[in-house]
Amino acid sequence: MKAAAAGAALAGPLAASLPAARAATAAPAFLHGVASGDPLPDGVLLWTRVTPTPEAVPGSGLGPDTEVRWTVARDRAFTDVVARGSTLATAAADHTVKADIRGLAPATDYWFRFSAGGADSPVARTRTAPAADAAVSGLRFGVVSCSNWEAGHFSAYRHLAARSDLDAWLHLGDYIYEYGTGEYGARGEVVRPTAPAHEILTLADYRVRHGQYKTDPDLQALHHRAPVVAIWDDHEIANDTWSGGAENHTEGAEGTWAARQAAAKQAYFEWMPVRPALAGTTYRRLRFGRLADLSLLDLRSFRSQQVTTGDGAVDDPERTLTGRAQLDWLKAGLTASDTTWRLVGTSVMISPFAVGSLPAELLGPMAELLGLPREGLALNTDQWDGYTDDRRELLAHLRAHAVRNTVFLTGDIHMAWANDVPVNAATYPLSAPAATEFVVTSVTSDNLDDIVKVPEGTVSAVAAPLIRAANRHVHWVDTDRHGYGVLDITAERAQMDYYVLSSRTAADATAAWARSYRTRSGTQRVERTYDPV
């Protein structure tokens, strides 16, 4: 990791990432699109960023306070306006704006826009959640994670935006990456350089990086199509973040951890349409009628430091992934839930994972991807595998209280999985699982075939059978492809349709359905289906 000088020039690198028409655009302008998030039955959170003057680029601290007006309507032409108001965009908040709109009808499409100084933002669609007691026949969510700017184009977002059936989309972490240019690209190559070019450390740096990501046309298109429900993982701050530091942070040379973490979190909440349930966290719960509730976790703010793989400390009850308050909140919410499905958004995989007898040429790359030692001990200490007491407590709670229909939705490891979540992996399948888990692959970040640098699909053909042999609760794993998921829920089943991209480096990449897995109500087991929705 390279130490970076704070206060580097901001306008130059960011300007390179803005649309070509930027110089000719009269200020104020809405260069970063608009977004909505965290839908409620009676409302939704709206977001934008205004550029009041040409020099007021993200992270600059420049530009006057600017009044920004918002309008919400039942139709795209804004002939049936239901809400309007205004707020002040300030340099202190990087000229980002949030409006928490209430008084809307449940399960309803709305259109919204912002305006400032005679300029209008793009028009976007959003949707409220069903009423809390509504009998909902179905829900459909896009599911994504791990979108590294330097590794390619965000075609997964474009293909999700082209759908007309999404109630919302879930981003399960690593919405941005903190690395400097050339430190984490695509098979070691930079498809498009980041801004700033150095590793981000300061509040200004994080704002510049968020601002660059929000110029991506595919990301803007998806934000314009449906509300997002997002949690962070480590790269929104620094690789392998824990409560007191990170693998990718050098205390002193890169400032203090407390200052860096505070800067990263401030920028995140400025730039994302997310409601923090508690100051500085992303754990919260949303409800979608009587069909499903969604518990969203923050697995970085409270966790103990990762230990060395094979260290018996992974079983230490004093170590935690969730923190006591969050784990108690999760357990209580799952027990009290009266919905058909209990969804849990987790940024790291909860299912246990053993490497097994991978050949030497694959063990090294797998170790690099998952943070395992090259001698092949079966543990990834950044996941729930490194905090087994928390996992045992949670799964035992599900079993003891007969909590059914719990589905974990996961990102982080750049591979697609469909898993049963066993209480005791050693005795599975003789012992019943406590839940199911659907893991989505990365939008662009390197996966196994990228690390090995072989044609797509080459590694998965060898590795997947060996992984499944060592992990009998794993029904499917795709180690090689990039893409996204679509979660479709009815009272009878929860189904994940997995889609893969033709290329992550081509801006016009196509998408194709790859596999579908579902869990039927009351079973806690995953099964393959050949009926994508």
Name the band, by pLDDT with cuts 50, 70 and 90, for residue 370: low
346 beta partners:
410
pLDDT of residue 314: 85
What is the model's pLDDT at position 470? Answer: 85
DSSP state, 357? S
pLDDT surpasses 70 at 315: yes
pTM of the model as a whole: 0.92
Nearest CA to 235 out of 172, 170, 297 is that of 172
The rounded distance, in Å, linking the Cα atoms of 117 and 131 is 37
Is the pLDDT reported for residue 392 higher than 50?
Answer: yes
Which residue, 297, 524, 285, is CA-closest to 403? 524
Residue 205 confidence (pLDDT) = 98
Q: Which 3-state string (H, E, C) describes 40-65?
A: ECCEEEEEEECECCCCCCCCCCCCCC
Contact 35, 273 (CB under 8 A): yes
Average pLDDT estimate for 249-255: 97
How far is 419 from 224, CA to CA, in rounded Å? 32
Residue 17 neighbours by CB distance under 10 Å: 23
pLDDT tens digits, residue range 516-533?
Answer: 999 999 999 999 999 888
Domains with residue ranges and CATH for the chain: 11-127 (2.60.40.380), 283-489+496-501 (3.60.21.70)
Average pLDDT on 309-332 reads: 90
* DSSP letters spanning 436-460: EEEE---SSS--HHHHHT--TTHHH
| Mean pLDDT, residues 249-262 | 97
Q: Which of 166, 46, 61 is nearest to 115 (CA)?
A: 46
Element (H, E) at 100: strand 96-101
Q: In the chain, how long is the greatest CA-to-CA distance?
A: 67
Q: How many CA atoms lie within 13 A of 396 on its CB side?
A: 7
Nearest CA among 208, 264, 383, 277 for reference residue 38: 277
Give the span between the Cα atoms of 494 and 516, in whole angstroms.
11
Do residues 408 and 421 make contact, with C-beta atoms less than 8 angstroms apart?
Answer: yes
Instruction: Work out the average pLDDT over 204-230.
Output: 98
Least confidently predicted of 212-216, 300-304, 373-377, 445-449: 373-377
Q: Report, as an integer, the average pLDDT of 9-29.
A: 51
Ranges of beta strands (E only) in 297-378 are 341-346
Instruction: Report pLDDT for 449.
Output: 85
Burial class for 258, CB neighbours closer than 10 Å (0-12, 13-18, 19+): exposed
- What's the mean pLDDT in 301-315? 84
pLDDT score for 220: 98
Share of the chain above pLDDT 90, in %: 79
| Residue 13 pLDDT | 44
- What distance in Å separates the CA atoms of residue 88 and residue 221, rounded to the nearest whole number? 25
Distance from C-alpha of 449 to C-alpha of 368, rounded to nearest angstrom: 12
CA–CA separation, 488 and 111 (whole Å): 24
Output the average pLDDT for the chain.
91
Q: What is the pLDDT averaged over residues 242-265? A: 97
The pLDDT score that the predictor gives to residue 369 is 63
Q: What is the mean pLDDT of residues 175-189?
A: 92
What the block records as the tokens of 40 is: 């409620």
SS3 235: coil
pLDDT tens-place string over residues 399-445: 999 999 999 999 999 999 999 999 988 788 888 899 999 999 999 99
Lowest mean pLDDT across 335-339, 365-369, 433-437, 457-461: 365-369
* Residue 16, token pair as written in the block: 């390179």
How confident is the model over 134-144, as pLDDT tens digits?
Answer: 999 999 999 99
pLDDT confidence tier of residue 381, bands split at 50, 70 and 90: confident
What whole-number distance in Å separates Cα of residue 380 and Cα of residue 373? 9
The DSSP element (H or E) to which 468 belongs, if any, is helix 458-470
Percent of the chain at pLDDT above 70?
Answer: 90
Question: 467-517, pLDDT tens digit by residue?
Answer: 898 899 999 999 999 999 999 999 999 999 999 999 999 999 999 999 999
Omega of the bond prior to 317 within 30 degrees of 0, cis? Answer: no
pLDDT-based confidence at residue 59 (cuts at 50, 70, 90): very high
Q: How far apart are the first and last CA of the chain?
A: 43
pLDDT tier for residue 360 given thresholds of 50, 70 and 90: low
So what's the pLDDT on residue 357?
59
